[in-house]
């Protein structure tokens, strides 16, 4: 926001500063609580299939939406799409690292037999490519402030949510953690929404 204001020679008003603070505080609280209440657990094949299935649906929705409505899509579509896809990229990257380590420990002959690892790799590449295209498209349509804020909020929220809901990483978390997750997420999203309404170059 500061760099963009400097480049465009616009001063940040109080509402813009509040929007930035909401984004920072919201995503900071969300990720901070996740760091102290969740733990990495062994990932079962069934859980990984669910993650890949959800990613397939997300890719289909954003891919079809882009293919059909590309001329009328708002910048928010690209920001949300990129954030969600990069959230899956982070999750799959963590999964792939663990699975490759297992394969290396048990023998190279398992590399070609572990089809699920290959599917994960393909999904990761597809999500990374489409997400990168969405990011560049969003940047090309206006100020980077909204893009950076949206990615900063949506990416970790998607990754943490997958870890909690699908992978069971918050099975031992206290009851209040879910409330804090919800409130922090709402605060961060509100900050992004307010940024999108600013008139100093972040308008959709």
Summarised one tens digit per residue, pLDDT across range 32-63 is 888 888 887 777 788 888 999 999 999 999 98
The angle subtended at Cα 72 by Cα 66 and Cα 75, nearest 5°, is 75
Residues comprising the chain, all counted: 204
Q: What is the mean pLDDT of the chain?
A: 82
Of 196, 185, 201, nearest in space to 74 by CA? 196
CB 197 within 8 A of CB 29: no
Q: What is the DSSP letter of 199?
A: S
pLDDT at residue 23 is higher than 90: no
- Rounded Cα distance between 95 and 92, Å, is 5
Does pLDDT of 115 surpass 70?
yes
User: Mean pLDDT throughout 57-85?
Assistant: 88
List Cβ neighbours of 191 (8 Å cut-off, separation of 6 or more): 19, 20, 21, 22, 23, 24, 25, 26, 149, 153
Q: Where are the domains of the chain?
A: 45-196
Residue 34 in tokens: 């996740």
pLDDT at 201 over 60: no
């Amino acid at each position: 926001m500061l760099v963009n204001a400097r480049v465009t020679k616009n001063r940040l008003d109080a509402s813009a500063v509040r929007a930035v603070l909401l984004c920072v505080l919201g995503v900071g609280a969300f990720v901070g609580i996740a760091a102290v209440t969740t733990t990495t657990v062994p990932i079962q094949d069934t859980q990984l299939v669910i993650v890949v299935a959800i990613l397939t649906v997300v890719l289909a929705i954003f891919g079809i939406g882009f293919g059909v409505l590309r001329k009328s899509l708002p910048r928010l579509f690209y920001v949300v799409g990129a954030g969600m896809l990069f959230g899956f990229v982070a999750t799959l990257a963590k999964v792939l690292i663990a699975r490759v380590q297992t394969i290396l420990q048990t023998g190279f002959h398992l590399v070609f037999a572990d089809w699920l690892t290959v599917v994960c790799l393909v999904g990761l590449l597809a999500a990374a490519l489409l997400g990168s295209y969405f990011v560049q498209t969003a940047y090309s349509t206006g100020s980077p402030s909204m893009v950076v804020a949206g990615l900063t909020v949506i990416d970790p929220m998607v990754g943490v949510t997958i870890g909690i809901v699908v992978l069971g990483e918050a099975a031992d978390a206290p009851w209040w953690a879910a409330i804090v997750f919800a409130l922090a997420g709402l605060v961060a999203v509100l900050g992004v929404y307010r940024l999108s309404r600013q008139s100093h170059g972040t308008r959709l």
